[in-house]
Structure 1
Amino acid sequence: MSYSALTKYLGKIHKLRYFMPPFAGTQEEQQALAAFIAGELHGKDISNTIQVADSPLARGRLLFEDNCSACHEPDDLASAFEEEDVNSLASLLLNLDEISDEMTPFDGTEKERSELAEYLDSLQGGQ
């Protein structure tokens, strides 16, 4: 997980892992823990630069990184979506808790959901 994704993950860990309590620290402590884990332990870049994406597909990739990469690798999902088109993927994102108790429905905007669905569709070669 990237520093950015881990920071966001820590803020909602109690929603994603039912057995985990909410992160008890401040925003700064959350960022410090994410920096330690991602940077010190895993040697990843921990700069807090905002990534700019210039297309829906690129924004979808960033949304995947921030919302899904804690548990999923993009390549691992391609076969899971073979039978789905971009519209059904967008609908599926609203019902992730029906697939697994450990997932929560995507809570972004409709535009973000559409961009994430487009990115997921691209994993299987969709246009």
Structure 2
Amino acid sequence: MILWFTIVQLVAACGVGLLCIVLGLAGRRPSDLSVGGLALILLLLIAQVVIAIVAPLAGNPPSGSALEYWVYLVSAVLLPPAGVAWALIERSRWSTVIMGIAALAVAVMVWRMHVIWTVQVA
């Protein structure tokens, strides 16, 4: 993984997560702002998939379990669409909060992926 890209993903996911939670607790229903934030997170995760495919070929293999890394990555890619689907089915303030929780969960998963890729000794 690339450190600066990991930091970009963490800042985006934490920012969108906190924004969605604040908007939801303020009584706002899902809007273009909250759904667009999750779309941004999804685009960053898709870029991470490409990086994870190219990095080992370029001589940057994970130091931890590649299987564990890919399970985290696939799970993280599934969270934003699941949060948006929930928001489109149930258009309430709580679905906005759920999108925020999904974004914060992605942030935790991205950090764990970084640890698996760089810190662990195989």
Q: Report if TM-score (shorter chain) is over 0.5.
A: no
TM-score (norm 2): 0.30
Which is helix-richer, 1 or 2?
A: 2
> More relative contact order in 1 or in 2 (CA 8 Å, sep 6+)?
2
TM-score (norm 1): 0.29
